[in-house]
Amino acid sequence: MNIDTFAVIGGDLRCAYLAGLLASDGFKVITSGFDSTDLPPCVTGCTNPAQAISLADFIILPMPVSTDGTTLNAPFSRTRISLDQVLNAVRPSQHLVGGAITQEVRTEIESRGLKISDYLHREELAIHNAVPTAEGAIQLAMEELPITINGSCCLITGYGRVGRALSRLLNALGANVTVAARRFSDLAWADTQGCTPVELAHFKDAGCFDVIFNTIPALIFNRDVLSSLDKNTLLIDLASRPGGVDFNAAAELQIKTIWALSLPGRVAPKTAGQIIKNTILNMIKEGV
């Protein structure tokens, strides 16, 4: 796949850094939707998304592409950019990618005879994103807890990519880490990493914790489970939508809960932009 010019249309600071990083690699980069933030001088800004798209071989949409199904996710744009406006400018011969594409948006794109690939679904992106997610979660805990992470009692529910990154960092900081997971293989890995393994079905009986990090995108912390928690426990939900906590019940029970979505873009946007850039270049190498 021969790519000369990228168009980065909309997005948060991750996409702003992504544009600069692609330009640093020698690509021509045209952006639109970044009116109220600074971009590197090697990047060409364009107020008209359609014009930017017309000049590009490869179009990069943000993550998520849209939060309402009709408007492009472009927080730095001074004017509303409709998804329709963007898609009308894309030619079938152009390469189009985006992140966290909903079925509603995908259906709209495909109804126009266009194809789009989702870089959020790439395994290498998920693996690398686990590190800034874990660091951001620990940063939140440090800001909210009246105690140090060193010596604290932490519970991680789920032991996927984020859970493993979290356990490694928490152990390095001197925390007492318990891991609750369904699979016995995950519990075995947690045990080898110096964590206390607990079957997920029995984690309510594992004791009291200063902070709980949930990574499971299913309702794990329902009213019954929340009622069993110490009132001073901090609950940080790192799971993607729909999350793993009954937030209404948590509020009623006065359990302090933080739903920490999109942490890489919030705490380390340049690193997150680098991860997206590397992932997209991998996709190009594979002809995606």
Say if CB 82 and CB 122 are below 8 A apart: no
Domain ranges of the chain: 5-121, 125-265
Query: d(Cα 149, Cα 117) in Å, to the nearest integer?
Result: 40
Q: In the prediction, which pLDDT does 230 show? A: 93
Q: In the prediction, which pLDDT does 120 show? A: 95
> Which pair of structure tokens corresponds to residue 276?
């997206």
Block means of pLDDT (10 residues each) for the chain, 288 residues, are 91 96 96 91 93 96 95 96 96 96 96 96 97 98 98 98 98 98 98 97 89 97 95 96 94 96 92 98 92
Instruction: Mention the CATH class of domain 5-121.
Output: alpha beta
Q: Do domains 5-121 and 125-265 have the same CATH topology?
A: yes
Q: Which CATH architecture has domain 125-265?
A: 3-Layer(aba) Sandwich (3.40)
Alpha helical stretches, state H, the chain? 13-24, 49-54, 83-89, 103-110, 123-144, 161-172, 184-192, 223-227, 247-252, 263-267, 269-285
pTM score of the predicted model: 0.92
Query: d(Cα 33, Cα 18) in Å, to the nearest integer?
Result: 14
- Dihedral over Cα of 18, 19, 21, 26: its sign: positive
pLDDT digits (tens, 9 = 90+) for 135-177: 999 999 999 999 999 999 999 999 999 999 999 999 999 999 9
> Which pair of structure tokens corresponds to residue 51?
């014009």
